[in-house]
Structure 1
Amino acid sequence: MRIISTNIGERREIFWKNKTVNTGIFKFPVDEPIFLDKEEVRGDEISDRKNHGGINQAIYGYSLKHYEYWKNLYPNLAWSFGMFGENLTIDDLEETNIHVGDTFKVGETVLEATLQRNPCYKLGIRFNDMKIVKQLWNTTKCGVYFKVLQTGFVNVNDSFELIKSCPENATIADLLIRRKKEKAI
């Protein structure tokens, strides 16, 4: 696996259901290395600290391979990396193969896979179509949250070197399936 794009978002106010909401889901590629800190990407907006950011959700990665699937469903969108709110667009990030606790050396950092991304209404706002939320729940293409064990810079083309494998743990896809059953979506 390697980084295809590093993505940052600024705070954006949106009008949703008769109220103003802040979001950082509108992320776009940047041309310089980004610093992965213990609870966030430095300079990246996290408006909803209850559901994003923090130790176990510091970095969000999404797979380039998943983009083709979604582009077929949403061909009229102005596509760019960061569409899913990810900090790292990764060439071949496969949630069915990554286990909780799997640890990677990436650039100057060490990252540990922790959680699945549970899609919310802000993804629907980004796509200008609320159907995307349920559609994502009905796949295993949720992306991966990472904990930052060693802070530092990462850049485009940095590789993910597996330094610890935890096949005894659930996969990220397994977590999404369990969460979906809990929510009865």
Structure 2
Amino acid sequence: MYPVSNLDELRLGKVKSLYGSNTAIDKHTVDTCDLSALGLAGDEQAESFHGGEDRAVLQYDFEHYADLAEQFPESTAYFVKGGFGENFVATGMNEHNMCIGDIVKVGSVVLQVTQPRQPCFKLNSRFSEPTLSRYVQDNFKTGWFYRVLQTGTMNAGDTIEVTERLHPEWTVAKVQHYLYVDTENKTVMQQLVDLDVLAKETKGVFERRLQNNVVENWTGRLIGKRQ
């Protein structure tokens, strides 16, 4: 049986200056929202590469926050719904039971899982925890993105239902394993480059590794500095 959950909260946000940079991570709840190919009506991104058709909607498993509160006790009060800037707040769907290419129905909208989120230093700033982005990357607690296959309207309380699974062999967490752990497996990297439903951004990571025979430096993304 495929995962089914409830859309506990639907969130969107405007770009504002927070934590020393521009960000739209601080999102508020709405009861209903229209969805276009580029995302939720009224939802903004501080950087152009934070948006696009392959990153139209971000979902995050609410159950991750309990682990984060345990790992980072000084920030416990901030690990709440919407803390990671997610559009969908839901429980029971996670990186281990959602797969790249999954077709998902929410209200009148149809979505497709495209890629894991690659966490950045803005999470560290938001929670005043300098190692948070690295922790969620290492433990596959990042959330994932959807592209829009059918536009429409969604409401808080709608069912989130996986209706079709195209690639059961490629959970979000398995892709993360090859992004961050087994980073030099050329056979698997080629398989991921050839995976038609995988987002161009993530495909590009594997393409560059194959072409250059080197793993990219994550320092700038994770802590905001480059070596």
Instruction: Give the one of 37, 62, 65 matched to 1:64.
Output: 62
- Native 8 Å contact 1:8 1:87 kept in 2: yes
Q: What RMSD, in angstroms, separates the aligned Cα atoms of the two structures?
A: 1.8
Spell out, residue by residue over 1:43-90, the C-alpha distance to the aligned partner (whole angstroms, 9 max, x if none): 11211121x221111000001111211122234433431111110011
Residue 186 (structure 2) aligns with: none
Taking the TM superposition and a 5 Å limit, the aligned residue runs for 1:1-185 are 1-14=5-18, 16=20, 21-28=21-28, 30-50=29-49, 52-75=50-73, 76=75, 77-180=77-180, 181=183, 182-183=215-216
Q: Distance in 2 between matches of 1:168 and 1:79?
A: 31
Greater alpha carbon shift after TM alignment, 94-103 vs 77-86 = 77-86
Q: Distance in 2 between matches of 1:135 and 1:78?
A: 16
Q: Which amino acid aligns with 2:36?
A: D
Task: State the shift of 1:31 in Å.
Answer: 3.8
- Native 8 Å contact 1:26 1:126 kept in 2: no
Q: Distance in 2 between matches of 1:158 and 1:171?
A: 24
Q: TM-score, normalised to structure 2's length?
A: 0.73
Unaligned runs of 5+ in 1: none
Residue 200 (structure 2) aligns with: none
Change (3 A) 1:103 1:64: same
Q: Which amino acid aligns with 1:82?
A: G
Task: State the shift of 1:15 in Å.
Answer: 5.6
Q: Distance in 2 between matches of 1:128 and 1:12?
A: 18
Q: Distance in 2 between matches of 1:140 and 1:84?
A: 14
Task: State the shift of 1:156 in Å.
Answer: 2.0
Greater alpha carbon shift after TM alignment, 30-39 vs 53-62 = 30-39
- SS of 1:68's partner is helix
- Native 8 Å contact 2:15 2:22 kept in 1: yes
Bigger strand fraction = 1
Higher-RCO chain (CA-CA 8 Å, sequence separation at least 6): 1
- Length, aligned pairs only: 179
Spell out, residue by residue over 1:96-136, the C-alpha distance to the aligned partner (whole angstroms, 9 max, x if none): 12111110111110010110000001111111212101101
Q: Distance in 2 between matches of 1:72 and 1:58?
A: 31
Task: State the shift of 1:34 in Å.
Answer: 2.1
Bigger helix fraction = 2
Q: Distance in 2 between matches of 1:121 and 1:91?
A: 25
- Native 8 Å contact 2:65 2:80 kept in 1: no
- SS of 2:54's partner is helix
Q: What is the aligned-residue identity percentage?
A: 28
Q: Distance in 2 between matches of 1:62 and 1:169?
A: 21
- Native 8 Å contact 2:65 2:79 kept in 1: no
